[in-house]
């Protein structure tokens, strides 16, 4: 019963008490000491029942009741001497309850564990106080003692007062009024009464004591005047709990819940504020997609939502929230648990999810448009399993899907090559398999692939694509010899070197690589391997690699690649373009190789030469090369350097997800992806030949 109704009933009981004394008064004078005690007991019985302890008794209520009893009785001991020993029994009982309840309050220590000895003692004392110190019992007992000793049991006044007190004690007028009001208001489907509004879409309701069980995701309806006009609303029960011997509901409504109205029927002449439990015609698609509701702390960039425990959800999955006429898409990146204090004794557990805004999908521009505001509190958050995505364009390739949806992630093959692409991830994350499959898609008649692979896997894994080595046969032997000759001369003192011989061998290397590259780009072959020579030292390997990249860049700059684009794949890039503090045996020669590759990375885009850089850790790879990669596919990673580097491409929320990414899941970001925003995607299962001996 609302507070206003309880006050009205309380005033009515006082009026009824006055009528009883006026009509049935006898020898007892209302104004003498005995009459004052009787009247006070009945007034306090009514006050306690309707206002002070209308739900349950607390230790503070026991303190208030016992103090009131003692203050009333102590000055009137001489006037109530006919009660004899009963006076002292009741006085002592009240005093003992006062001491017990005060000790229960004083011993309670919120800073300590509930299992601590002091809090256990407090709980025991509290139980005793509230069980034996109920205000209605105290005041009714005092009333009985007084009327037995001071009112003739045969008089009409005795009967009237006793009936009055019994009604207050046993029938409990507040429940009687609710039941009576329900007769006039409730139909068979009425189960609760609106209690409050948390937002424009979330309502609180108090369940009637005799209502049937109501569970989460039941459909309810009610008349509300939110928005300035009365209208019928249908909603879902998203929380149903019991607190203080009373059942409560949280009901979610939204303009997008049209399905609820279509599959339910409103009762005849529903009254404002009465909640009806509605029967549903068939299954509700809404329930199978509802993830939760927007909660406190959401920002433009990040959505925070309270999980509804209905639909399973994982990191990377796509959510949608309706804002006006737009569906805003978000991607799940985090989830945390928590507990909400319902009162001093009860808590409710919950999960708060976090999702980063992707935006509004624009099919015309094939990208996400940022939405510049936050969704309303308690707006429903739905799982976005189906999204209207256009078909793949001729220059695009589908590399995967956003987990749990049909939303396809495309990569522009031309942009990936010309603007450089980095594929990063630890061993076992799916990085290399994904990279080799992407190479198959990039290779065509206009794009030639040169695979720099020191792992010797590509010759087997891409055997159907790779036509062999870039340099082979006698040409390779001649170039290997030239490398050894240069290395031998470079090992001598500067004044002893044969500079003309070195120049001749360098020209031989330059021309050998240019001839091999011209033949490759002019052929029908799509991909070749750049294999290391069988030379006698590591310095020779570096020299050989350097001249390959120098020759490629000179051909591209001179526009001698027959109008073809060339994509250089750097597998295990840290062995080819290491960071300066990871350089090999000859720092000068290692630097020369890195500088040659960096030159292509910086300028190659203008001449149709691009990179696909594949590495496990960014810490070991030249940042000069990596920072030129305008697109990144990041699989699982753990090192801090990788997180710091990728923080330049994506938000901290996505960076934090790197360590949690499952196998065959990655984050795509950069110019080559049509979405225009970072996103987690899943890579489909890819089958490829096993390496020899693997």
Q: How many beta carbons lie within 10 A of that of residue 674, not counting itself?
A: 20
- What are the φ and ψ backbone dihedral angles of 648, each rounded to 5 degrees? -75, -15
Please enumerate in sequence order all residues whose Cβ is within 8 A of that of 81, keeping only pairs 6 or more positions apart, or say none: 87
Evaluate whether 645 touches 658 at the Cβ level (below 8 Å).
no
CA atoms of 647 and 641, how far apart (whole Å) = 10
Please report which residue ranges of 247-353 form alpha helices under DSSP H. 258-262, 285-289
- Looking at the DSSP bridge assignments, the partners of residue 350 are 338
The DSSP code for 566 is E
Share of the chain above pLDDT 70, in %: 84
CA distance 271 to 566: 75
For residue 134, which of 205, 213, 62 has the smallest C-alpha distance?
A: 62
Between CA 63 and CA 102 the distance in angstroms is 7
> Mean pLDDT across the stretch 99-128?
80
Ordered domains of the chain (ranges, CATH)? 3-178 (no CATH), 186-283 (2.40.10), 286-388 (no CATH), 409-682 (3.40.50.300)
pLDDT (tens digit per residue) in 595-627: 777 777 788 778 889 999 999 888 888 888 888
Confidence of residue 333 (pLDDT cuts 50, 70, 90): very high
Does the pLDDT value for residue 163 go beyond 80? no
Q: Please choose, from the candidates 554, 552, 539, the residue with its C-alpha nearest in 3D space to the C-alpha of residue 588.
A: 539
Sheet holding 421-424, edge to edge: 408-412, 396-401, 679-682, 665-670, 631-634, 421-424, 609-615, 565-570, 447-452, 527-530, 466-469
Q: Look at residues 377, 361, 369 and name the one whose alpha carbon lies nearest to residue 320.
A: 361
349 token code pair: 């557990």
Tell me the three state secondary structure of residue 416.
helix
Residue 62 is classified by DSSP as H
* Residue-wise pLDDT tens digits, 470-510: 988 888 888 888 888 888 888 888 888 898 998 998 899 99
Helices 135-150/33-47 angle, 10° precision: 150
Q: Give the least confident one: 20-24, 514-518, 604-608, 614-618.
A: 20-24
Contact 403, 607 (CB under 8 A): no
The pLDDT value given to residue 187: 62
In this structure, are residues 616 and 574 in contact, taking their beta carbons and an 8 Å threshold?
Answer: yes
The number of C-alpha atoms within 13 Å of 149 and in the hemisphere containing its C-beta is 19
- The CA distance from 236 to 205, in Å, is 12
Residue with tokens 């409710």: 348
Beta strands in 363-470 (DSSP E): 367-369, 380-383, 396-401, 408-412, 421-424, 447-452, 466-469
**Segment 299-310, tens digit of pLDDT:** 999 999 999 888
Classify the C-alpha dihedral 153-154-158-159 as positive or negative.
Answer: positive
Find out whether 391 and 582 touch, Cβ atoms under 8 Å: no
pLDDT for 341: 58
Pairing of strands 190-199, 274-277: antiparallel
Report pLDDT for 114: 67
Element (H, E) at 530: strand 527-530
Token pair recorded at residue 288: 């199978």
CA distance 250 to 239: 5
Measure the N-to-C terminal CA separation of the chain; round to a whole number of Å: 76
pLDDT in tens, 385-442: 777 777 788 888 889 999 988 888 999 988 998 889 999 999 889 898 899 899 988 8
Closest CA to 286 of 317, 320, 316: 320
Report strand pairing: 447-452 vs 527-530.
parallel
- C-alpha span between 62 and 98 (Å, rounded): 7
pLDDT in tens, 211-235: 889 999 999 999 988 666 788 999 9
Strand partners, 410: 398
Choice between 58 and 587, residue whose per-residue pLDDT is larger = 58
Tokens of 436: 């080799």
Structure confidence at residue 693 as a pLDDT band (50, 70, 90): very low
Give the closest residue to 1 by CA, choosing from 251, 168, 193. Answer: 193
pLDDT of residue 562: 81
Cα-to-chain-centroid distance, residue 117: 39
Q: Which of 352, 330, 350 is nearest to 341 (CA)?
A: 350
């Amino acid at each position: 019963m609302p507070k206003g109704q309880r006050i009205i009933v309380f005033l009515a009981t006082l009026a009824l008490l006055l009528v009883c004394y006026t009509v049935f008064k006898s020898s007892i004078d209302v104004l003498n000491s005995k009459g004052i005690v009787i009247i006070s007991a009945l007034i306090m019985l009514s006050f306690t029942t309707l206002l002070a302890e209308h739900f349950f008794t607390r230790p503070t209520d026991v303190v208030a009741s016992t103090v009131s009893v003692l203050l009333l009785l102590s000055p009137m001991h001489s006037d109530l001497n006919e009660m004899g020993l009963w006076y002292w029994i009741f006085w002592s009982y009240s005093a003992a309850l006062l001491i017990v309840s005060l000790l229960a309050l004083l011993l309670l220590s919120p800073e300590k564990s509930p299992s601590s000895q002091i809090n256990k003692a407090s709980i025991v004392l509290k139980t005793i106080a509230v069980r034996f110190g109920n205000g209605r019992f105290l005041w009714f007992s005092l009333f009985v003692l007084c009327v037995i000793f001071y009112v003739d049991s045969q008089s009409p006044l005795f009967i009237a007062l006793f009936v009055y007190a019994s009604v207050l004690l046993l029938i409990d007028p507040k429940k009687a009024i609710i039941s009576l009001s329900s007769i006039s208001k409730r139909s068979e489907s009425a189960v609760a009464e609106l209690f409050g509004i948390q937002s424009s879409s979330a309502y609180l309701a108090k369940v009637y004591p005799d209502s049937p069980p109501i569970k989460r995701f039941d459909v309810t309806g009610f008349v509300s005047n939110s928005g300035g006009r009365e209208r019928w609303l249908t909603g879902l029960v998203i929380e149903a709990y019991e607190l203080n011997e009373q059942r409560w509901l949280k009901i979610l409504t939204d303009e997008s819940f049209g399905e609820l109205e279509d599959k339910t029927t409103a009762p005849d002449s529903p009254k404002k504020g009465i909640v009806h439990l509605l029967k549903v015609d068939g299954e509700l698609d809404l329930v199978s997609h509802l993830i939760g509701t927007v909660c406190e702390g959401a920002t433009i960039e990040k959505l925070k939502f309270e999980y509804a425990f209905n639909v399973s959800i994982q990191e990377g999955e796509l959510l949608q929230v309706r804002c006006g006429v737009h569906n805003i898409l978000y991607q799940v990146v985090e989830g945390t648990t928590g507990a909400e204090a319902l009162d001093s004794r009860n808590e409710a557990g919950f999960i708060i999810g976090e999702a980063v805004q992707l935006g509004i999908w624009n099919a015309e521009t094939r990208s996400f448009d940022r939405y510049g505001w936050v969704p309303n509190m308690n707006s429903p958050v739905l799982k976005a399993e189906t999204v209207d995505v256009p078909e793949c364009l001729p220059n695009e390739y589908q590399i995967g899907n956003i987990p749990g949806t049909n939303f396809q992630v495309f990569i522009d093959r031309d942009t990936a090559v010309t603007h450089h692409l980095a594929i990063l991830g630890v061993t076992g994350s799916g990085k290399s398999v994904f990279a080799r499959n992407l190479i198959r898609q990039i290779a065509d008649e206009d794009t030639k692939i040169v695979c720099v692979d020191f792992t010797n896997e590509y010759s087997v894994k891409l055997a159907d694509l790779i036509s062999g080595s870039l340099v082979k046969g006698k040409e390779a032997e001649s170039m290997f010899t030239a490398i050894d000759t240069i290395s031998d001369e470079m090992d001598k003192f500067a004044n002893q070197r044969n500079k003309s011989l070195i120049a001749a061998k360098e020209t031989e290397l330059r021309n050998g690589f240019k001839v091999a590259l011209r033949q490759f780009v002019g052929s029908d072959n799509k991909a070749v391997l750049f294999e290391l020579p069988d030379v006698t030292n590591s310095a020779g390997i570096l020299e050989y690699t350097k001249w390959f990249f120098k020759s490629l860049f000179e051909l591209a700059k001179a526009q001698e690649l027959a109008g073809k684009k060339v994509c250089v794949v750097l597998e295990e890039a840290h062995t080819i373009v290491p960071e300066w503090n990871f350089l090999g045996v000859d720092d000068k020669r290692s630097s020369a190789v890195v500088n040659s590759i960096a030159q292509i990375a910086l300028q190659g885009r203008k001449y149709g030469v691009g990179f696909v850089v594949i590495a496990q850790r960014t810490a070991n790879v030249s940042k000069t090369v990596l920072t030129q990669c305008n697109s990144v596919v990041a699989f699982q990673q753990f090192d801090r350097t990788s997180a710091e580097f990728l923080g330049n491409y994506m938000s901290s929320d996505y960076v934090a997800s790197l360590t949690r990414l499952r196998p065959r899941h990655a984050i795509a970001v950069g110019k080559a992806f049509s979405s225009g925003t970072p996103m987690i995607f899943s890579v489909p299962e890819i089958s490829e030949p096993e390496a020899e001996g693997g």
